[in-house]
Amino acid sequence: MKSFARFSCAAITVSVVTLMATLAHAADRITGHHFATRSEAMAPHAMAATSQPLATQVALDIMQAGGNAIDAAIAANAVLGLVEPTGNGIGGDLFAIIWDAENEQLLGLNASGRSPQALPLEYFLEHGYTSIPARGVLPISVPGAVDGWFEMHNKLGRLPMAQILAPAIAYAEQGFPVTEVIAYYFEQNAKVLKNQPGFADVFLANGQPPQKGKRFKNPDLANTYRLIATQGRDAFYRGDIAKTIATFVQEHGGFLSYEDLANHSSTWIEPVSTNYRGYDLWELPPNTQGIAAQQILNILENYNLAELGFDSPEYVHLFVEAKKLAFEDRAKYYSDPDFNEVPVQQLLDKNYAKERAKLIDLKRAGKAYEPGNPPTEGDTIYLTTADEHGNMVSLIQSNYRGMGSGITPTGLGFVLQNRGELFALDPHHRNVYAPGKRPFHTIIPAFVTKDGKPLMSFGVMGGATQPQMHAQILINMIDFGMNLQEAGDAPRILHEGSSEPTGEVMTDGGVVSLENGFSDYTRRELIKMGHRLQEAVGPYGGYQAIWRNHEEGVYYGASESRKDGHAAGY
């Protein structure tokens, strides 16, 4: 496949202090892929890529047992909720983009939950809050992940849910060895959450978080999974699990009710696309931030990035400024479409992107930008699976900040998310808090097609990092000719400090972090342009990807070298 030499990926995520040395050694690879830390995985029948090896293996086992990519994604997500609760779990939300091979179409699933009906905006204003707290009972919204599983399964699944959840139940009962990066995040989360109700009972045995290499068991989560497997989604939203969640939250001063859980539903939605140099990038519309990646690419399509080169101050400068512009629109417009009309197609208009690009000073960093006026007409896991039938799943699932709110209802074995923190409290803001409203969401799955054919399922976890890295992965492959693994391993550009959907406004240009691998020359030139640079360890995201080679009938897989997981197939 002629274009394939330019297209292949991998991923990035946490605090790996040896990254500089890793990238230096990678330059010696005989294949010439300068940044690649390893080769792409390749297999003829099926592929899975997750951030933890046990989850990858379970996904493959499920497909070898007759399940499809949808079954495998659910099974892997359930295992990750056990082995990587520092990033996800059934107390959180879920989004997915699925290639339905039988019907040859892309499907989008929004399985995010809504805020409590009994909690009004006035509560926060009357109690003097300027923002919604990050921890405790107030940022809790309805967990949507379990309903998302059953929506996917009812539409496209093959195996019984009991079989799909069996591996996660077995690991929860028998225990699993905690891997290195996850152990690090257990320790960091424990420092913040140790006093939250119920947290220590599950995650701090003898006062200590799970340690690297130690076997960790979670029998409470095993029981919860077993109830879901045997009684279905209503066990979670209308049965004993729902009653336990609501009672526990309200006993500790929260507002989430049984009725909030019982009334929850997911939504099948149309993914939206933009074409970047011949490839269609598909994202989910708001209340996610997916279209920010597309807005960044639409702006950058006006420049010859390949000519500038990967390690050039001009490219990094253009990328950062395009991100700033896209995030101004993100701060103003992205919100729950049930409460606002979000001008998605107008924000993705190519002529609009050209006008926005004109605001970029090629020599100086912008300190502040206004959101645009588009033309009018009237923390997290990411996994991906692909099967022998051609189905491909791009799935992202999260508690938001690591282990979410920290609130861990008695006997259930999981924490509840703190996604509600991402509402604004300004009554005039589109993303202002309201009862029964879905908050702005950072988690975004992605998919690439070309000429109507499915090519690539990918994602990069990590808050506001995600749209920046979605864009960089495609730029690395399309403009700079990297393969699937190298595109994720290559050092990343991260801009922080933009205006936010929670009400913050950028006035100082923010700060830029460059991973090791960018030259001192590029760093110096960026400083001359007025960019503020800082060193950062860990916030660069966690990537997984699967590429489909139609000519050979082969899948390529790539996985984040900064995490514990891997890609594998058969």
List Cβ neighbours of 428 (8 Å cut-off, separation of 6 or more).
Answer: none
- Residue with tokens 């700060």, as numbered in its chain: 511
Is the Cα torsion angle 491, 496, 502, 503 positive or negative in sign?
Answer: negative
Q: 380, 385, 465, 502: which one is catalytic? A: 380
H or E element in which residue 338 lies: none
3-class SS of residue 272? strand
CA 359/CA 348 separation, integer angstroms: 17
* Those residues with Cβ within 8 angstroms of residue 499's Cβ, 6 or more apart along the chain or in another chain: 327, 328, 330, 331, 332, 371, 505, 506
Alpha-carbon distance 411 to 314, whole Å? 55
- Collapse the DSSP code of 426 into the 3-class scheme (helix H, G, I; strand E, B; otherwise coil) and give the result: coil
In the prediction, which pLDDT does 372 show?
Answer: 83
> What's the confidence (pLDDT) of residue 34?
84
Please state the pTM of the whole predicted model: 0.93
Question: Closest Cα to residue 11, out of 473, 399, 394?
Answer: 473
Q: Of 87, 280, 237, 59, whose CA–CA distance to 151 is shortest?
A: 237
**What would the two tokens of residue 337 be?**
């479409």
Number of H helices, E strands in the chain: 20, 18
CB 146 within 8 A of CB 236: yes
Residue 48 has a CB neighbour count (10 Å cut-off) of 37
pLDDT for the residue 149 = 98
Cα 11 versus chain centre, distance: 12
- Reported in sequence order, the residue ranges of 45-132 that DSSP labels E, i.e. its strands, are 47-50, 93-100, 105-111
Q: Measuring CA to CA, which residue among 512, 498, 511, 515 is closest to residue 560?
A: 515
Correct CATH for 2-45+269-380+440-569 of 3.20.20.70, 3.40.225.10, 3.40.50.720, 3.60.20.40:
3.60.20.40
For 545, the 3-state DSSP assignment is strand
The conformation of residue 392, written as its DSSP 8-state character, comes to E
Residues 6+ apart with CB under 8 A from 341: none
- Distances from the Cα of 16 to the Cαs of 192, 245, 309, 409, 437, in angstroms? 21, 36, 26, 33, 38
User: Would you call 179 a catalytic residue per the annotation?
Assistant: no
Q: What is the pLDDT of residue 5?
A: 34
Q: What is the Cβ-side half-sphere exposure of residue 219, based on CA atoms within 13 angstroms?
A: 2
- Residue 480 sits at the vertex; the CA angle it makes with 479 and 481, to the nearest 5 degrees, is 100
Q: What is the dihedral of CA 433, 250, 94, 84, to 10 degrees?
A: 130
Contact by Cβ (8 Å): 245, 256:
yes
End-to-end CA gap in the chain:
21
pLDDT at 338: 93
Given this model, what pLDDT does residue 375 score? 64
Question: What are residue 559's DSSP bridge partners?
Answer: 544
Who contacts 182 (Cβ-Cβ below 8 Å, separation ≥6)?
52, 83, 84, 86, 564
Q: Which residues contact 435 (CB under 8 A, 6 or more apart)?
A: 115, 116, 117, 118, 119, 120
Q: Residue 137 burial (CB < 10 Å; 0-12/13-18/19+)?
A: buried
Contacts of 214 (CB under 8 A, 6+ apart): 177, 178
What is the pLDDT at residue 6?
34
Residue type, 172: A
Kindly give the confidence (pLDDT) of every residue in the chain, 570 residues in length, as a single tens digit, with 9 standing for 90 and above: 333 333 333 332 333 333 333 344 445 567 778 899 999 999 999 999 999 999 999 999 999 999 999 999 999 999 999 999 999 999 999 999 999 999 999 999 999 999 999 999 999 999 999 999 999 999 999 999 999 999 999 999 999 999 999 999 999 999 999 999 999 999 999 999 999 999 999 999 889 999 999 999 999 999 999 999 999 999 999 999 999 999 999 999 999 999 999 999 999 999 999 999 999 999 999 999 999 999 999 999 999 999 999 999 999 999 999 999 999 999 999 999 999 889 999 999 999 999 999 999 999 999 999 988 776 443 689 999 999 999 999 999 999 988 999 999 999 999 999 999 999 999 999 999 999 999 999 999 999 999 999 999 999 988 888 999 999 999 999 999 999 999 999 999 999 999 999 999 999 999 999 999 999 999 999 999 999 999 887 788 899 999 999 999 999 999 999 999 999 999
